[in-house]
Structure 1
């Protein structure tokens, strides 16, 4: 903000101008009175030869009385006029100052009643304008968070409803002797219970990680070894889609203080997404390297695929809970939508960073960094 737009500067300037105008006017009138009436007084006094009786008769209309009366009248009128001007200018200024604040107050009342997204238009660059801009940003974020909260509840209800409906259907069929109560159906119901339990556990871990209360069991972890084992465990899935997996691991990567289980979950989540969305006979590249950034050593892990990529409007939301670029919610094309949100929170909880870059038609790259001791 330019200092000339500051209200402090404006107030100081207005007060200075009012005082300057008042003092200047007073000086001008005093000088004017001195040049006219007081000069006349000196001239009359210099005459000197007037008799005493005549002098007493002239005292009532003497130049001194005329001078003093004129000065008093001038000061009175000047003061009255300047007070009126000051009051008028102050009223105009305060009115223009309070008007946007009243708009802000009305908008705050609307937000307090649950009407999020209210904005105030204030075309000024001073502190009031900055306050209005900040309020507008806050209001838009509240509206966005409220929308995401509603979507989150709807997504959780959707994810919970599916396994519950399956189990309810099986139980009702068994009660009505429509479905046989055999081991196969019990195992199917157990799978749904396990999936439901995993979802609840993931939601619990996510909520704990967001408030920095997730318990981490850190130890010396060989990140290259974790990646090698993960690639080996997922090799059947790679072979099923005829994916070409290339692994470039930097031998200089040191042991890192990480939670092994949480880090494994991050790696598997990203690799499973790459397998799920990458077409057959495509490429997946896994690389690690030790680098220095801002005077600190860090380990960078990249998992890149040559899949269809992610649209720009979807890319900035992929780490949000239950967000899917594919809106049909088909389980063949996507999981529950919580994997990347968990991965992000697990990485952040361990002092790392995670980013995604994508280009439609060329693929997606996930970059994870961890501080190196």
Structure 2
């Protein structure tokens, strides 16, 4: 619980117990004083009654002793009453602790019922209910992530079997048919190589799942030309783009020095561009815009990738950067991955102190990579 909540709650309890004790003590004192005053006013009549009726008017020593005991008893009675009031205040404080222990015990046993505490502990009740709600949200998110991860492991395991079966089948045909025509042999060898590449991608995704620990991404910045950097990454995607009649257009300054981790940023741009090519309409153009923007006092490198294709719903946009998250369409494509690419890209950008944002409207989907720049 934050220190502010603790301090506020301690002050509230202190005031509540102190004022209750003071009020009870004052009320007791007023009642006791009133009773004592009434007795004092009636004392002459009571004294005559005690002296003559009970003692027979004979023994002054016993009468004086009773008078002394009366005042001593009154003093002791008042002191005993104050002690009882203080004890009641202490017991009330202990009941607060009992209520707190019971509430915390309910949280530890995963009791989902709302925490209800006395009004004096309203601050603590609010804080504990917030903690319980956050814990429940975290548990649900962890279970959902674990379920998605398990589903993807099963999915990838099933997908691995498909290209592996094809590879074994075609290699068996090549081995058992040495007199096969050269054209057919070349076609089978090409198909086998394609399936082997697909198998390599799936196995790499398995490794990605096992070593996925984004909280420990090391960033080693250096200065480099981001325009040349983007052109080199784009060139690597030429075969993939050509296979679907896609073109990639780079809009960037002739030279743009930047300060970032080139290897990590390469992976960010690679993952974003790969996603854009996978979901772009066949025969369309994927645009890459590179530039700088000044927001407030910070100079930002901005790399935006825009493709034309099926629009992404707001619900998917909210979750597209979650690890192991895959839209329904991804499962039906042969290039569907484990749902880690964009999650890793965002974490690398955030490790730089930046971020990635996404937008989709009217069939145009854009991803913007933001990296803060130090002065050169």
CA distance in 2, matches of 1:313, 1:202: 25
Q: CA deviation at 1:203?
A: 5.0
Counterpart of 2:136 in 1: which secondary structure?
A: helix
1:48 corresponding residue in structure 2: none
For 2:71 and 2:320, how far apart are their aligned partners in 1? 85
Contact 1:173/1:179, CA 8 A, preserved across alignment: no
Aligned equivalent of 1:222, options 200, 221, 225: 225
Shift in CA distance, 228/139, structure 1 to aligned 2, threshold 3 Å: same
Deviation, structure 1 residue 67:
4.2
For 2:206 and 2:128, the matched residues in 1 are separated by 37
SS of residue in 2 equivalent to 1:60? helix
What is aligned with 2:199? 196
- Aligned partner of 2:349 in structure 1 is 347
User: Secondary structure in 2 aligned to 1:320?
Assistant: coil
Question: Residue 315 of structure 1: SS of its match in structure 2?
Answer: helix
**CA deviation map 1:25-46 (0-9, x unaligned):** 23652475367539968xx9xx
Shift of 1:337: 3.3
Residues 300 and 367 in structure 1, CA contact (< 8 A), matched pair in contact too: yes
How many Å separate the matches in 2 of 1:366 and 1:142?
Answer: 30
Over the aligned positions, Cα root-mean-square deviation in angstroms equals 4.3
Measured in 2, the distance between the counterparts of 1:285 and 1:187 equals 31
Task: Measure the CA separation in 1 of the matches of 2:299 and 2:231.
Answer: 23
Structure 2 counterpart of 1:119, from 90, 112, 115: 112
Q: Quick one: structure 1 residues 344 and 11, their matched pair in 2 at CA, closer, same or farther if it must change by over 3 Å?
A: same
> Cα offset for 1:287?
2.0
| Contact in 1 for aligned 2:311/2:361 (Cα 8 Å) | yes
Partner of 1:21: 24
Q: How far apart are 1:128 and its partner, in Å?
A: 3.5
Out of 233, 252, 258, the position equivalent to 1:249 is 252
Q: How much has 1:368 moved relative to structure 2?
A: 1.0
What corresponds to 1:129 in structure 2? 126
How far residue 312 of structure 1 moved from its aligned partner, in angstroms, is: 1.7
- Equivalent position SS for 1:126: helix
8 Å Cα contact 2:311-2:364 kept in structure 1 = yes
- In 2, distance between residues paired with 1:103 and 1:283? 58
TM-score (norm 2): 0.72
What is aligned with 2:149? 152
Say if 1:204 and 1:347 are closer, same or farther in 2 by CA, change over 3 A. farther
Residue 9 (structure 1) shift = 0.8
When residues 340 and 3 of structure 1 are mapped into structure 2, their CA distance, relative to the original with a 3 A threshold, is closer
Structure 1 residues 85 and 229: alpha-carbon distance in aligned structure 2, compared to 1, 3 A threshold: closer
Alignment map for 1:1-373 (pairs within 5 Å): 6=9, 8-26=11-29, 29-30=32-33, 33=36, 37=40, 57-62=59-64, 64-65=67-68, 67-69=70-72, 71-72=74-75, 74-75=77-78, 78-79=81-82, 82=85, 86=89, 89=92, 93=96, 96-107=99-110, 119-123=112-116, 125-168=122-165, 170-171=167-168, 180=177, 185=188, 188-204=191-207, 207=211, 210-212=214-216, 219-231=222-234, 234=237, 247-250=250-253, 253-260=256-263, 262-279=264-281, 284-293=286-295, 295-327=297-329, 329-331=331-333, 334-349=336-351, 351-373=352-374
3-state secondary structure, aligned to 1:6: helix
More helix by share: 2
Distance in 2 between the 1:287 and 1:177 partners? 47
- Change in CA separation of 1:166 and 1:178 when aligned onto 2, cut-off 3 Å: farther
Aligned equivalents of 1:201 and 1:236: distance in 2? Answer: 20
TM (normalized to structure 1)? 0.72
Residues 269 and 282 of structure 1: is their aligned pair in 2 closer, same or farther, counting only changes over 3 Å?
same
C-alpha distance in 1, partners of 2:280/2:172?
Answer: 44
